[in-house]
Structure 1
């Protein structure tokens, strides 16, 4: 049994080919050489004591920088060739270069002259440039195997991180920042002030007042020191602050209304963050789970970098009607979510990791839970998008049980992971999990310590859908999201009421349980019987995958003909579908309130109508 939809299962999706972009350099006449095409590690020539190599950072645009090395012949005879080597810290790299062949072995980088610029006359110099990314500065420079002897790199380390800023004098439109000074072996020149991950100012002191802000808005700040040769040190810790005034955010009420937004929905489904606004859903939800980040090699990793933070949005697609520019620090869904939160400050966004296809990495990750939690925290709190996310959601399918793959981490693994995440993310971030609804005897709920883990999780998204579907291609037909048991149900314990009852009986507080709603139907074809329990010949045709279809399609192509176990079903021609309607959702919300649940969640936004019928039904039902 799976409580997961094929959208989560089918993660192989088309991604448009994108050409790389390098910063345009004024006056550049040499052909830029893509780094991906550079092969072979240059061998240093014989040591030269009558030449120097000097590094300069020409510019920095937040997400990248332009660096330049200059080789000068300080001797009395011509230099026939040159090779510069240097180290970059992990996370800093060369992406493209011109006027040199640049290669690397790990963090050690090598630049060798081209055929036309290797010879340097006495007193002359040659420069080459490159576009890079990351905050680090070069160290350990050698020129033709000897010391660089330049005035900017050897013996000059980048500055330390400044202290985490503190805030004061907060008004409707301004905030004052103060921080403790960074240290450097040759002195600190100035500090870059970062707001929401983007540089907004460079100052020489250790205070800065940011003006022109919006009332009642959340901002995140950090600072970064530069030394006398313009080397950037590491970014400080970040501080979040909310300006005073503004309209008070709409109260979320006593119940949570949470929806999943999928990063792959921006492709074939053409569903974007702006659709939450145009449908009216943004005003009615309380939380968004952004799906998915991956779990690989014991770490949280990016799921789809293009959709997440690189896709450029046109004005008509953008939440605020402003088009992205090619050089802005953050684009994609993350920037659109930032704009959504500015417009609807009551919404909280969590980054969801795992899902059906990407759950296989959790078993390895929980072997070192502290390192796993640290990697997730570092990614969620990356200064480029820290203000976008209010916490993390972990979708492990399933701890100590089988989903797409089988896990044998043991019953305690879910609690170990939850405790490590809470310890790292602290009390001010949300830490949640999507969990199984298999309440059968000895089933998936029994396989893991969900009650123990609930002490660290804020709530569980109980996946009370996908109980039955056309993976049983001959039937019997059955509703995929039954609220309760009914006569003839194919499997005992496969219904919402039993799942919630079992979790409560194990000690999970009712207020930490959210009832799951699917914004789609599951269906069979070759069915002659209108009532549930009929035989079939296979999966009904769907827009994206056989056996599954969005509610927005089914409401028109196969309207409901009956209800069973608190949900709807439809028989049209030889197809049989089950799905929730606004009416059945209303009844389920009444049941959830009577059970004292924390609210409801749904998978996922794009299945709803353009005017948000199902989101509205959840919102109305929870009030």
Structure 2
């Protein structure tokens, strides 16, 4: 029975539809950069030269592509040749500003007589029409890598050590790192702040000045050899300058966590963008945002929706900054918008959440090699292109050693091993959290895993105290989907927030590491004849995106609440029966959370709220 799953059906259902929406969007005309096109310094003919690709148009049966060759070095390039491979079925049909030939699926483009010479700082482009849906791979420029790789016969330098920070003031920080190595010698180091170069130095220390007080920064370093090749970037160090009104709010700092989920698929049909967090006033009222979801595949963290995450071009009207994206900027999508949001709210923390109902099946494989899983997650979250956007990782495993969409048999200590590996890799300066079941029934899901042991490595748990009951039981009985406490006639004992929190405390999880969950949506039935809970039904009530579920912003006027049960509002209108939280019930739940000594609260998810963020306001004011 689905009611025994304590399902997280919002991510469960919408993630299924989201995938289709993302694929449909990708075939629209867009200058979506392929993965190898990330601009970076590369070496050819002893110069830092790069070749980047963009698909500038896509009309379904064909596309237009463009390669751009740029000389970022100090030596003039006299000619250029770009080579790449296409999968079978994808090919070039015509080209301009270059001579393009092929041998089977291997393609070669050579400069024409008038555009082969590139002075330092110069760039040139050539374009072509093609058919097929494949992306270019194995790019080479004048025999070397297109995106920061090798000069033939010359190995690129190794990554320097992760910088350490000292002497932090309101406006400056001193960085130090261990040296990189190179077969022909290291010439200097690029110091990167938030992925952008701020200095090039010959030693292994640098003091960055002119910073803003009370602000978060992220630094990495990469080495250059005598041929001007750059090696891989170091690990990142996060720095919070002094002054400016304090440091990160959270458990242990005297301030409660107020965290909300932002979904990557919301930018499609819902047209809910990071800008909405600003215009609603919500960004100023929360302390943390979880960005959902990254995928878990093959025992590793992987991108969830690369188009929405990093490639989607924002218009000026939809952008947080009010400035439109350009086709050639190194990072677009929601990640860049979240970066702009953090610029407006320097103390806001953002975590990348992995898993969710649909993608939790990958955690079983991840649990077989926790260290490899943690390594993959760190490399993805701390990728230099967006390392400054994220302040840590959240994992949403539904459910360890129990049944959700599928049944997991990893063992009761699997979650503990996974969180321990994540903490070891991400270190003390990053947040590591987890969303977990709220099944407080006897022998239920909380009893299946060592949440106290796993919690030792976590900053907090997001306890999913919602979706206890819903119209997956088509005939009812009607019941509130997020009861705070038990009540007479509750369909399943232990399916309440109070039972879940009590069981986790009894297991040994500190109250300060538990966040109470709130749903910004309702669940409902139709064919109901009685106002009070416990009535029979004929099926799920109609919803905007799926049956049986509807956003609060719709329900508040479509079916206003006319009663409360177990700390949750319910509404009876016509033959429909809904339960959902209102500003009043959220206020009561926040008071309860404070009385219990909890670390704060979180909610799923921002787009269910009103345009002026009245539910976010209720969470924030209730915890202040």
Q: CA RMSD in A?
A: 3.8
- C-alpha contact (below 8 Å) 1:62/1:199 kept by paired residues: no
Relative distance call for 1:312 and 1:166 in structure 2 (3 A) is: same
SS at match of 1:402: coil
Change beyond 3 A, Cα 1:135–1:168: farther
Partner of 1:220: 218
**Aligned match of 2:378:** 377
- Say if 2:13 is the partner of 1:9: yes
Q: Does 1:192 align with 2:190?
A: yes
String of CA shifts for 1:491-527, please: whole Å, max 9, x gaps.
Answer: 1111111111111111111111111110000001111
**Residue 138 of structure 1, CA deviation:** 8.3
Aligned residue in 1 for 2:147: none
Which of 144, 147, 155 does residue 157 from structure 1 map onto? 155
Change (3 A) 1:474 1:84: closer
Which segments of 5 or more consecutive residues in structure 1 lack a partner in the other structure?
24-33, 37-52, 73-81, 87-95, 118-127, 142-151
Higher helix proportion (structure 1 or 2): 2
Deviation at residue 584 of structure 1 after TM alignment: 0.8
Are 1:552 and 1:608, in contact at CA under 8 Å, matched by a contact in 2?
yes
Maintained 8 Å contact 2:216/2:347: no
Instruction: Quote the offset at 1:355 in angstroms.
Output: 0.3
CA deviation vs aligned residue, 1:366-408 (integer Å, no higher than 9, x gap): 0001111111111111111112111111100011111111111
Closer/same/farther in 2, CA of residues 320 and 67 from structure 1, 3 Å limit: closer
Report the TM-score, using the length of structure 2 for normalisation. 0.80
What is the correspondence of 1:215-254 to structure 2 with a 5 Å cutoff?
A: 215-246=213-244, 248=246, 253-254=254-255
Q: Trace 1:554-593 onto structure 2 (pairs within 5 A).
A: 554-593=555-594
Distance 1:134 1:425 in 2: 31
Q: In the alignment, what sits opposite 1:613? A: 614
Distance 2:583 2:223 in 1: 55
What are the superposed Cα offsets for residues 478-503 of structure 1, whole Å, 9 maximum, x if unpaired? 11001111111111111111111111
Instruction: Quote the Cα distance in structure 1 between the aligned partners of 2:344 and 2:53.
Output: 25
1:315 aligns with 2:316: yes
Flag the 1:236–1:197 CA change in 2: closer, same or farther, 3 A.
same
Contact 1:474 1:537 in 2 (8 A): yes
Contact 1:163 1:182 in 2 (8 A): yes
Offset at 1:175? 5.0
Distance 1:315 1:485, change over 3 A: same
Change (3 A) 1:321 1:210: farther
Superimposed CA distance per residue, residues 406-451 of structure 1 (whole angstroms, 9 cap, x where no aligned partner): 1111111111111111121122221111111111121111111112
Structure 1 residues 86-101: aligned runs within 5 Å: 99-101=99-101
Query: TM-score normalised to the size of structure 1?
Result: 0.80
The answer to whether the 8 Å contact 1:137/1:232 transfers is no
CA contact (8 A) 1:567 1:579 kept: yes
| 1:439 to 2:440 alignment | yes
Aligned to 1:269: 270
3-state SS of paired residue (1:480): coil
Which piece of structure 1 moves more, 474-483 or 343-352? 343-352
- CA 1:250 to 1:280, structure 2 compared with 1: closer, same or farther past 3 Å? farther
Between stretches 612-621 and 218-227, larger displacement belongs to 218-227
Retained in 1: the 8 A contact 2:7–2:404? no
Query: Which 10-residue stretch deviates more, 380-389 or 289-298?
Result: 380-389
State the distance in 2 between where 1:191 and 1:331 align: 27
Q: Which has the larger radius of gyration?
A: 1
Matches within 5 A, 1:101-500: 101=101, 153-166=151-164, 175=173, 177=175, 179=177, 181-202=179-200, 210=208, 213-246=211-244, 248=246, 253-500=254-501
